[in-house]
Amino acid sequence: MLKKIQKRLTIHNSSVRELLAEALGTYVLMVLGLSSVAQVVLGKGKFGQYLSINVGFGIGVTMGIHAAGGISGAHLNAAITFTQCVFGNLPWRKLPAYLLGQFLGSFLAAATIFGLYYDALYDYTKGNFTVTGPTATASIFSTYPAPYMSLAGGFFTEFMATIMLFLGVLVIYDENNNGALKGTQALLTGILVLGIGMGMGMNTGYAINPSRDLPPRIFTAIAGWGVDVFTAGNHWWWVPLVAPVLGSLAGGLIYKILIDIHNQHVQEHGNEKEQTQTVIESSTL
């Protein structure tokens, strides 16, 4: 009976499977990440500090990759998905499924954290949900620039942080180079995100991922924070969408030029030597 039910529930369309995997992986990532932010903000420093947020997102990335990696590769990031399409590693026809899955998982995660911490949110704000000010809480869900940041400076921060993210991902997963040991990739990717947050998070909150930032921002606009979530920070909302995409493309191009094409040349040269040696050995038999 159980096998029959399982068989009926099995989805054979690969795009739908990948959509669901990306949704679950992104949901796990975002729930662990956003909940760590909520505890730090709403707990007024009694239940964690900035490092807690870095660790929370790092663990979230690791668990998200474990959740979705076997089916979709666990991009969990619209910038990375777009870049993989540009470099020919993912068919363009799969782009909508990946993005929809990521955005769905992220939006549902924001709704989950809102429900989980609603009483604390209400107590902290007295029912007045604001984007700026002494009891601002919109930053629990999406990123906003520090008060001292210019728009250009914030853009550059997100651009550079995403370059480091995608470069790190390529280093970890490139089996043709000095890739990570099998089974450790998810953990190392989580540590990579932890490192980016610890070193490059102060200026902008290190969104480095459109799927991490836009869906929760839309949720907060609906849930009581209003259109201020799109106008705050000199209309900051578009920067976590555009800068990570450009940063990811730049990171991929840098790795391609400095590492990947040289490895391909070495491999091709090595294969030619092996083939020549095989021919010589065969001719002597």
Question: Which residue is it, tokens 């870095």?
Answer: 54
Neighbours of 180 (CB within 10 A): 16
Q: What are phi and psi of 119, to 5 degrees?
A: -60, -40
Residue in 179, 175, 197 with CA at minimum distance from that of residue 188: 179
What is this structure's pTM? Answer: 0.90
Contact 137, 110 (CB under 8 A): no
Q: Is residue 78 part of a domain?
A: yes
Q: Is residue 52 part of a domain?
A: yes
Q: Each residue's pLDDT tens digit in the chain (285 positions)?
A: 666 666 666 777 889 999 999 999 999 999 999 999 999 999 998 999 999 999 999 999 999 999 999 999 999 999 999 999 999 999 999 999 999 999 999 999 999 999 999 999 999 999 999 999 999 999 999 999 999 999 999 999 999 999 999 999 999 999 888 888 989 999 999 999 999 999 999 999 999 999 999 999 999 999 999 999 999 999 999 999 999 999 999 999 999 999 988 887 666 655 554 554 443 344 433
**174 Ramachandran zone, left/alpha/beta (phi>0; psi -120 to 50):** beta
Residue in 60, 107, 99, 53 with CA at minimum distance from that of residue 80: 99
Question: What does the angle CA 76 – CA 82 – CA 83 come to, to the nearest 5 degrees?
Answer: 100
Quote the pLDDT of residue 1: 65
Q: Is residue 5 part of a domain?
A: no
Domain count within the chain:
1
Q: Is residue 276 part of a domain?
A: no
Quote the pLDDT of residue 178: 85
Q: Token pair for residue 107?
A: 């939006």
> How far is it, in rounded angstroms, from Cα 283 to Cα 285?
6
Q: Is residue 281 part of a domain?
A: no
Contact 211, 26 (CB under 8 A): yes
Most distant pair of Cα atoms in the chain: their distance:
88
Q: Is residue 169 part of a domain?
A: yes
CATH number at residue 174: 1.20.1080.10
Domain that holds residue 120: 14-262
Quote the pLDDT of residue 177: 87
Residue in 130, 144, 154 with CA at minimum distance from that of residue 244: 154
Q: Is residue 135 part of a domain?
A: yes
